[in-house]
Amino acid sequence: MVPISGKTRVLALIGHPVSHSLSPAMHNAAFAADGLDFVYVCLDVHPNRLPEAVRGMAALSFRGFNITMPHKQALVDLVDDLDDAARVSGAVNTVVIDPDSGKLTGYNTDGGGMVLACEEAGIELSGKSVLLLGAGGAAAAVALAFAEAGIGELHLANRSLENAGKLKEKLSGVGILSVETHALDDLDASAFGADVIVNTTPLGMKEGDALPLPEGCLREGVAVCDAVYRPGFETPLVRLARERGVPVVAGNRMLLYQGVLAQSLWTGGEPNVAVMDRALSAR
C-alpha cells in the first residue's frame, strides 16, 4: 500500500447515511494492490449541506466522488456537465473533478455496470427483447446502456403508467424508439416474450418483499438481472431464478462493475477487477 501523503489523491462517497457502504473496501483494495496513490473515504453529508459539501470537495482538490441516496438527483444541478446516462436518468452516481479547472462532470455508471455484469454472466443483449421493471433513475440508466449494447426492443413496466410514459419520452429524445409501456400489475406469465428481465424496483430490499413480477415470467430461456443488492442476502427474484436454472445477474455484480467504471473515470486506467471482487465478497 502506498503511504498516504500530501500527494495522495482523495476520492469519496457522499450520502446520508454512508456507514454501511462497501465502496471503500472495494476501491482501496484495488489501489493498494496496484500501488496507486489514491484513498477513498465515506462522508456523511446531510441534504441541507450538500451544495457546500460539493463546493468544498472541488476546493480541496478531490479527484472525484461517488453519490448514494438521497443525493443522486440533487447532484444533477450541482455539476457543470453531465454524460448522457446522468442527464436521461436525472441521477448522478459518479463525479470527476478536473484537477486544473475544478470543473465537475457527473456520470451515471449504473447502466454500464449492468451491461458488464451481463457480459460476465454470458447474457447476450444484442437483438434481444428486454422487460425492464421500474421507471426511476436506475431504470433509465439501464435502458440507455442496454440500447447502446444493441437490444432489439424494450418493454417498460411500472406501477405508474404515467411515469413509464415519461421515461419513454426521455428515451425517445435520445433516439431509443422501440419502447412499449405496461402497468406492472398487469404482467402475465408470457412477459411479452422477453429474453432478459431486469428489476430496478425496490422490491427485494426488505425481507418478506413480494416478487416484482409473476413467477410464471421466469420461464426457460429467459435471463434475469436484479439491481437490488442486500449484503449477505439474495433477493427473492435472484433465489427463484437460481432455483429454475436460468442465467442470473445479482445486484452485487452491478455494484462491482459500476464501481469499476467509476474508478476507471478517476484514474484513467484499468481497475483491478479481481481484487475489487474479492474485497466485496469478503464483506
| 172 labelled ligand-binding | no
Is position 66 annotated in a ligand binding site? no
Query: Both ends of the chain: CA-CA distance in Å?
Result: 20
Q: Determine if residue 137 is labeled as part of a ligand binding site.
A: yes
CA neighbor of 23 nearest in space, from 84, 80, 94, 92 = 94
Distance CA 48, CA 95 (A): 19
Largest CA distance in the chain: 59
Q: Catalytic annotation on 206?
A: no
Torsion of CA 261, 259, 30, 266, to 10 degrees: 50
Please tell me whether 73 is known to bind a ligand. Answer: no
Is 68 known to sit in a ligand binding site? yes
- Dihedral, CA of residue 135, residue 43, residue 282 and residue 197, to nearest 10: 0
84 is in an annotated binding site: yes
Q: Which of 72, 128, 168, 170 is catalytic?
A: 72
Whether residue 34 is annotated as binding a ligand: the answer is no
Size of the chain in residues: 283
Cα 30 to Cα 35, 37, 196, 245, 278: the distances in Å are 8, 11, 31, 33, 10
111 annotated among ligand-binding-site residues: no
Would the annotation count 134 as a binding residue?
A: yes
C-alpha cell recorded at residue 270: 484499468
Question: Do the annotations mark residue 227 as ligand-binding?
Answer: yes
Known binder of ligand: residue 229? Answer: yes
Instruction: Confirm whether residue 258 is marked as ligand binding.
Output: yes
Let me know: does 111 contact 146? Beta carbons within 8 Å. Answer: yes
Contacts of 119 (CB under 8 A, 6+ apart): none
Point out the annotated binding site for shikimate.
21-23, 68, 93, 110, 229, 258
Binding-site positions: 21-23, 68, 84, 93, 110, 134-138, 227, 229, 251, 258
Which residues carry a binding-site annotation for NADP(+)?
A: 84, 134-138, 227, 251
Q: Which residues are catalytic?
A: 72
